[in-house]
Structure 1
Amino acid sequence: MSLDDTKVLGRKTFWLYSQGKGYDLTHPPSPTSPPIFPRIPLETTSGPVAIDPSKTALVIIDLQNYFLAPELGRPSDSVGIRVADKLLHHVIPSCRMASIPIVWLGWGLTEEDIDEMPPTIIKGFAADTNFVGDKKLGLLGSSIGTVTFEDGTEIEGGRVLMRGQWNSRFWSPLEKEVRENDIHISKNRLSGFWGGTDIEAALTFRGIKTLVFAGCNVDQCVGGSIQDACAKGWDCLLLNDGTATSSPAFAHKCH
């Protein structure tokens, strides 16, 4: 890319921009370095961008059994399941083909997290109106009890969104797509880039510069994560048809 018509946005870390080619997010060694290949062109609502797959990760947020599983009273045609289907059939295979790593970012609490959880977060989960049979899902850390599947199989649902529990695992069809070299991060707030998670160290170790965000809800955990990641210096792209929310339509439009 010639710098004759190119703007350099940033110093130590930078993008390149030209009116004809849009934004180059490949992070070459210097503004005058030859273009990095392979590169992936993408069309966004702000125009074309180019990313380097070796410096990019797909971040999938909160598509866990607790939020999606029909066995917990969730609708079988929920927006979360529709998003998961698109990821399963289109996005994840494309990322695997391009060797783009996948970050599975979901709730996974410890006892310390529960002790230090602010009331505003506890209140949000206390208002949950979904049921397992005739039993209301309880507060963070409370026991869900036995979960019965369509074929009659019964398992323990575990404690609400605690680490290592069935309910906090990613939705079963998605979990089948997990690979050994994927990145697994447990979060303890709406934003996955807050509260001492390991995500920043994991991304930095792999040389990741660009994050493509997917999951639910776009106005809550996805939105909080993308705002914090952007403030901390990562390039952030929101996958429009790979995100959704159960909130009113305007909540999705504002992102």
Structure 2
Amino acid sequence: MSRNDWTLSPEHVDLRRPAVEPRPVEVGALPQRLTLDLSRTALVAVDLQNDFCHPHGWLASIGVDVSGAAGPIGALAAVLPELRAAGVPVVWLTWGTRPDRANLPPGVRHVYDPDGASTGIGDPLPGGSRVLQLGSWSAGLVDELVPEPADLHVAKHRMSGFPDTPLDSVLRNLRVDTLLFAGLNTDQCVYATLVDAANLGYDVVLVEDLCGTTSPGFCTDATLYNVRQCFGFTTTSAELRAGLDT
């Protein structure tokens, strides 16, 4: 039975959802220590894809140093089994654009193809894959991160994972209130999705070492400041695992 079900019979419909027992854990965080209810928490992992992290992916092919993007992969792979064992749903939120790019407005395309002649979203790469195209190697998760059958996948088409996607519906059906954020880039897609989540009423917690970026360091500093000051909280995977261990 899912977290959001009725009990049905031919003669009767029980509108009560399944009871979910609270599972509180304490986690060190900023600006204050947190108590998380694991039964109402999900992990949203953003854009941990070949085009952003792999040495043969899109960013590397256009000369971007992707070492910062690959940084959080090992830490996330280490904590995922503990989160799953604690019943925390994992949502993989990744760029996955239509082959015809019909729902991409020019502003989104311009960010990645500023002169109209560069390699942008949907364009072919030397290996034959197309940049961030749904179903392609480019848009696939990096090999080090292996989804489980119970994980959920949502394709996005903007910096934020909420516009023009089913992300909010998926999270509402999971009946979660608190979102842990991991992924790339800390100051771009992770931050944009986190801000939209906060504006929709979710509790948001950015897990610092589970996020990475190819931007300069001051971008991360500003993002962490803004998350703590305006939207939610930050923690680390060590603090999260310490809470899970108790």
Same-fold status (TM-score > 0.5): yes
> Is 1:173 aligned with 2:162?
no
| In the alignment, structure 1 residue 239 sits paired with structure 2 residue 182 | no
Q: Which moved more, 1:66-75 or 1:95-104?
A: 66-75
Letter in 2 for 1:242: L
Could you tell which deviates more after superposition, 235-244 or 71-80?
71-80
User: 1:71 and 1:141 mapped to 2: Cα distance?
Assistant: 16
- 2:104 aligned to which of 101, 117, 126: 117
Q: CA deviation at 1:76?
A: 8.5
Code of the aligned partner of 2:176: I
* Kept after mapping to 1: 8 A contact 2:55/2:66: no
Residue 80 in 1 paired to residue 65 in 2?
A: no
1:17-36 equivalence runs, <5 A: none
Scaled by the length of structure 1, the TM-score of the pair is 0.72
SS at match of 1:179: coil
Q: Can you list the C-alpha shifts for 1:74-94, whole angstroms capped at 9, x where unaligned?
A: 7897112111111012x2122
Residue 165 of structure 2 aligns to a residue whose secondary structure is coil
Picking from 89, 103, 124, the partner of 1:143 is: 124
Aligned: 1:210 with 2:178:
yes
Q: How far is the alpha carbon of 1:244 from its aligned partner? A: 2.1
Q: Looking at both structures, which has the greater relative contact order when contacts are Cα pairs under 8 Å and sequence separation is at least 6?
A: 2
Change (3 A) 1:125 1:44: same
Letter of the aligned partner of 1:222 in structure 2?
Answer: V
2:23 to 38, 53, 63: 38
1:185 maps onto 2:154 in alignment: yes
How high is the TM-score relative to the length of structure 2?
0.74
Give % identity.
32
How many aligned residue pairs are there? Answer: 198
SS for the counterpart of 1:139 is coil
- What are the ranges of 5 or more consecutive residues in structure 2 without an aligned counterpart? 1-20, 224-246
Q: State the shift of 1:39 in Å.
A: 1.1
Whole-angstrom CA distance in 2 between matches of 1:137 and 1:145: 13
User: For each residue in 1:19-56, what CA deviation from the matched residue of structure 2 results, as whole angstroms up to 9, or x when unmatched?
Assistant: xxxxxxxxxxxxxxxxx642111111111111111211
> What letter matches 2:87 in structure 1?
S
On the 8 A contact 1:190/1:224 being kept in 2, the answer is yes
Of 53-62 and 65-74, deviating more is 65-74
CA distance in 2, matches of 1:120, 1:70: 27
SS at structure 1 position matched to 2:149: coil
C-alpha displacement of 1:118: 2.5
**Do the aligned residues in 1 keep the contact of 2:178 with 2:203 (CA within 8 Å)?**
yes
In structure 2, distance between residues paired with 1:137 and 1:102? 34
Contact in 2 for aligned 1:137/1:144 (Cα 8 Å): no
In the alignment, the residues of structure 2 paired with residue 139 and residue 37 of structure 1 have an alpha-carbon distance, to the nearest angstrom, of 45
The answer to whether the 8 A contact 1:55-1:209 is kept is: yes
- Whether contact under 8 Å (1:83, 1:243) holds in the other structure is yes
List alignment gaps of at least 5 residues for structure 1.
Answer: 1-35, 129-135, 147-155
Counterpart position of 2:46: 61
Whose strand proportion is higher, 1 or 2? 1
The CA RMSD over aligned residues, in Å, is 2.1
229-238 vs 70-79, greater mean Cα deviation: 70-79
Larger radius of gyration: 1
